Amino acid sequence: MATVELTFSALPAHVRTARLVATAIARRTGVEESLLDEVRLAVGEACSRAVEVHRAHCPGEPIRIELRDDSGRFEVTVSDHAPSDEIKPEQPLDLGMLSDSFMSGFGIAVIEGLADDVEVFPGPKGTNIRMSWPAANGV
């Protein structure tokens, strides 16, 4: 059973709130202090990506986050309802190809560089990004 579930409308202003909630629960779950910045950034990246794809495809649909503390790990799943054909495999850096508006591929790359364990489940009805870190104790 999820420890905490959070849904929020696809507005950039709510991403900070989601980051703060995830970081607070990670701390309470016993994630090491040195990893909390990584949790904050990875959850923020996943939520930012979800907000951007929802604004493009389904702005009225909420974004969902589940935060769990199963089996000695702190696990976060961010779920969106937008078609996920925008996730592309990592490609060599090319400044000319980079956009300053939406860098979804970068967001996923950052999450993969930060989280101890990451799985991305893309699908036609949405994407689930599940990430986890070691945790010392349950909530």
Partner 1 sequence: MDLKLDHRTEDRLTIVEVEGEIDVYTAPRLRELLIDLVNKGNFHLLVNMEKVDFLDSTGLGVLVGGLKRVRAHDGSLELVCTQERILKIFRITGLTKVFGIYASVDEAKEAHGKDK
Sign of the C-alpha dihedral, residues 98, 100, 101, 102? positive
Distance in angstroms (rounded) separating the CA atoms of residues 131 and 113: 11
State which of residues 5, 7, 9, 37 lies at the interface with partner 1 (CB under 8 A): 37
Distance in angstroms (rounded) separating the CA atoms of residues 26 and 134: 10
Distance in angstroms (rounded) separating the CA atoms of residues 36 and 47: 16
Closest CB 76 distance from partner 1, rounded Å: 15
Closest CB 90 distance from partner 1, rounded Å: 10
Only one of the segments 10-18, 67-75, 81-89, 131-139 lies at the binding site for partner 1 (rule: CB under 8 A); that segment is 10-18
Tokens of 21: 């909630």
Residues near partner 1, by CB under 8 A: 12-13, 15-16, 19, 37, 40-41, 44-45, 48, 51-52, 93, 95-96, 98-103, 106-107, 109-110, 113-114
